[in-house]
Amino acid sequence: MTDEQLSAGESSLIGKIVDGEVEAVFRWGVIVDLGLSRVGLIDVLYIDDEDVYRVGDRVSCFLDCFDERKDKFILRPPNQISLEERLRRSRE
């Protein structure tokens, strides 16, 4: 599924805060059911040591994009900046 294959409603959510329910927690990230065609992923790079996620928790996240390779929506906590922005700032 490419960005072009996402529904108009799903495409309109990219760049916005979305709500979902934690479906699974792994060492490499958190899977979130967004009620969309694909689940969301909060990558471990966005999870701080003090963050606690449990199955069934309701979460609000920033929907960054759809990752075709992972077949998931990429999410990050609203208080986190994107990895691209982190890298850009570290180079300055």
Q: Which of 61, 12, 11 is nearest to 40 (CA)?
A: 61
- Predicted local confidence at residue 39, as pLDDT: 96
- How far, in Å, CA of 51 to CA of 37, rounded? 27
Give this prediction's pTM.
0.84
Q: Is the pLDDT of residue 67 over 60?
A: yes
**In angstroms, rounded to a whole number, what is the distance separating the alpha carbons of residues 92 and 81?**
16
Which pLDDT score is estimated for 2? 45
Confidence (pLDDT) at 4: 55
